[in-house]
């Protein structure tokens, strides 16, 4: 299918999907409507049958855009999570954790720590942290939207700040392509201090965990959780599941450890770490950048399931039949997430491959005549808009970095690094707010949280961080001082979050007892 250029009409599909999702609260319907609106525009612009072609093109996109490795990983991980719970391993882990973790604060801080520790890949982070931490956060009445927020805000933000990750390797490659840096790693590291949104995201998480300064919809979810309503979906009955009494803590830890180790080794292998290619052989970072994370994660989850079979069945934790029956049951909660991912990929394909949305946004950006001092701010806003509309941060900085680099070197060479970093920051911000973002979908899936509950409760936090980041980028543009911009935006974030929490506490009314 050849792409067409339809100008502002290319923004219609994501707008339709997002607006309908917020109004109807039905994500699948909204995504289907968004995809069909885009394929209808494409059919009319291409002179195709406006009745048959939109439906045909929609299904072709779903088939062609689907990342079956990620789909398989979701289903296999769902099986692994179910089996760990059915074995009693999760309960054993919960009993151990209750002896070590004594408070809600400690449970959220441990979640944050694990989110930062698993910095290799955001998909891996989103689903693994949720499955490990749910038993602990549930025990201390942390709402599932809060857990989803902690996962989402320590997945992409930490991956974009650590060079030894799939994100770091990819961005490093883009940096070399722009011609601004000779080394991808040096270019990546130069941008880290200017990536205000990612840094402030992690600061925000710490504030929320340590001081419980919640506000907005999250504040209400946390109040409900304190009364026993965690706003959970899919796996809320795991605690009621009858499980073997001879399970131990290791029945949970070892399968997860196998998943982690095999996934990392698979990423290295697929990326050529042990190949004869001198550009990647023996180099951890470049091999990750050259890898296919979905494929590696599928290998890791499959290896973890095989290990779990050998760990559980010979010890009679569960029978051979119970093991495979549990595998199928574990896949069932992942069906909705899989459908949402398929449609999210399809609407991204409508924008990027059929209606030339990136080209429209790029042309608009190049024709605005941006003054040098506000370049980082404008870049941040454009990147956020494109990422929000298409649901992909990777796609956004892949599109904008080659454009921003020459523009910055022409109108404000001293702000080139800051402008490139603002591209990454804006991409993550838009991704955090977008209900069609795959990372956002996987975060709500990993936490077993209603997807729109996660999107709506996280958005006020993301908007607050973005507003403080904009102040920082304004200062950087005016002074060229990155440290000043970071410090001022960080101090402002602390003050604003505290004030918003105080307002939320003051205005909160405890519901009457039923």
The per-residue pLDDT for range 358-380, each reduced to its tens digit, is: 677 667 766 766 677 888 999 89
For the cut 70, the answer to whether the pLDDT of residue 356 exceeds it is: yes
pLDDT over 70 for what percent of the chain?
A: 87
Q: DSSP letter string over 216-261?
A: HHHHHHHHHHHTT---B-SSTTGGGS---SS--THHHHHHHHHHHH
CB-based contact 166:120 (threshold 8 Å): yes
Higher pLDDT, residue 400 or 414: 414
* pLDDT band at 236; cut points 50, 70, 90: very low
Q: What is the pLDDT of residues 106-153, one digit of tens each?
A: 999 988 988 887 766 676 677 678 877 888 898 889 999 999 999 999
250 pLDDT above the threshold of 60: yes
**pLDDT tens digits along 41-92:** 999 999 899 889 999 999 988 888 777 887 888 788 778 878 887 888 877 8
Confidence of residue 514 (pLDDT cuts 50, 70, 90): very low
CB 33 within 8 A of CB 17: yes
pLDDT band, residue 272 (cuts 50/70/90): confident
Residue ranges of the domains in the chain? 68-162+240-335
DSSP 273: T
Note the pLDDT of residue 228: 86
More confident residue, 403 or 277: 277
Q: Give the integer Cα–Cα distance in Å for 184 and 164.
A: 11
pLDDT of amino acid 117: 79
The pLDDT of residue 407 is above 70 = yes
Q: What is the pTM of this model?
A: 0.72
Average pLDDT score over residue span 376-399: 81
Task: Identify the pLDDT of residue 492.
Answer: 97
Comparison of pLDDT for 103 and 403, the residue scoring more? 103
Dist CA 399 CA 410 (whole Å): 19
Condensed to tens digits (0 to 9), the pLDDT of residues 459-484 reads 999 999 999 999 999 999 999 898 99
Q: Give residue 199's pLDDT.
A: 96
- State the DSSP code for 274: T
Q: Token digits for 173?
A: 């490659």
Higher-pLDDT residue of 164, 52: 52
Q: Has residue 23 got a pLDDT over 70?
A: yes
Higher-scoring residue by pLDDT: 165, 108:
108
Reduced to 3 states (helix: H, G, I; strand: E, B; else coil), residue 100 is helix
Question: Whole-angstrom Cα distance, residue 388 to residue 449?
Answer: 21
- Burial of residue 29 (number of CB atoms within 10 Å: 0-12, 13-18, 19+): middle
Tell me the chain's radius of gyration from C-alpha atoms. 23
Out of 24-28, 181-185, 266-270, 412-416, least confident range: 181-185
Residue of 109 and 333 predicted with greater confidence: 109
Using the predicted structure, report yes or no on whether residue 2 has a pLDDT greater than 90. no
pLDDT over 90, % of the chain: 31
Q: What is the pLDDT of residue 41?
A: 92
| CA torsion through residues 249, 254, 256, 257, sign | positive
Question: Using CA atoms, how far apart are residues 392 and 444, in angstroms rounded to an integer?
Answer: 16
């Amino acid at each position: 299918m050849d792409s067409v250029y339809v100008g502002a009409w290319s923004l219609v599909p994501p707008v339709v999907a997002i607006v309908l999702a917020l109004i109807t609260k039905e994500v699948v319907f909204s995504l289907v409507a968004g995809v069909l609106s885009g394929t209808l525009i494409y059919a009319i612009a291409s002179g195709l049958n406006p009745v048959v072609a939109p439906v045909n093109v929609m299904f072709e996109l779903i088939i062609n855009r689907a990342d079956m490795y990620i789909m398989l990983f979701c289903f296999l991980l769902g099986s692994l999570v179910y089996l760990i719970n059915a074995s009693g391993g999760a309960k054993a882990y919960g009993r151990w954790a209750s002896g070590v973790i004594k408070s809600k604060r400690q449970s959220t801080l441990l979640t944050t720590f694990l989110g930062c520790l698993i910095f290799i890949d955001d998909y891996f982070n989103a689903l693994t942290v949720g499955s490990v931490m749910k038993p602990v956060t549930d025990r201390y009445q942390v709402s599932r939207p809060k857990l989803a927020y902690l996962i989402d805000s320590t997945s992409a933000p930490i991956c974009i700040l650590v060079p030894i990750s799939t994100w770091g390797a990819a961005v490093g490659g883009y940096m070399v392509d722009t011609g601004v840096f000779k080394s991808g790693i040096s270019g990546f590291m130069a941008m880290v201090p200017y990536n205000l949104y990612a840094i402030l995201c992690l600061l925000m998480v710490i504030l929320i965990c340590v001081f419980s300064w919640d506000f907005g919809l999250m504040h209400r979810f946390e109040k409900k959780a304190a009364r026993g309503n965690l706003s959970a979906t899919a796996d809320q009955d795991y605690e009621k599941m009858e499980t073997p009494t001879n399970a131990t803590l290791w029945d949970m830890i070892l399968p997860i450890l196998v998943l982690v180790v095999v996934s990392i080794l698979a990423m290295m292998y697929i990326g050529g770490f042990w190949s004869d290619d001198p550009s990647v052989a023996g180099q951890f970072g470049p091999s990750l950048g050259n890898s296919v994370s979905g494929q590696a994660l599928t290998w890791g989850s499959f290896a973890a399931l095989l290990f779990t079979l050998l760990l559980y069945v010979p010890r009679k934790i569960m029978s051979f039949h119970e093991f495979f029956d549990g595998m199928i049951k574990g896949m069932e909660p992942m069906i909705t997430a899989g459908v949402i991912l398929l449609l999210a990929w399809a609407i991204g394909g409508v924008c990027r491959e059929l209606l030339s949305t990136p080209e429209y946004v790029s042309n608009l950006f190049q024709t605005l005549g941006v003054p040098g001092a506000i370049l980082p701010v404008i870049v941040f806003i454009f990147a956020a808009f494109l990422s929000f509309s298409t649901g992909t941060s990777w796609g956004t900085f892949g599109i904008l970095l080659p454009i921003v680099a020459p523009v910055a070197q022409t109108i404000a060479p001293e702000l080139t690094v800051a402008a490139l970093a603002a591209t990454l920051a804006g991409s993550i911000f838009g991704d955090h707010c977008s209900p069609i973002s795959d990372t956002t979908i996987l975060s709500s899936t990993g936490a077993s949280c209603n997807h729109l509950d996660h999107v709506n409760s996280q958005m006020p936090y993301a908007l607050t961080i973005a507003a403080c980041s904009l102040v920082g980028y304004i200062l950087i543009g005016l002074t060229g001082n990155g440290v000043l911009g970071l410090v001022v935006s960080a101090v402002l974030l602390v003050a604003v979050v505290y004030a918003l929490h105080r307002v939320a506490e003051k205005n909160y009314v405890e519901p009457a007892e039923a």
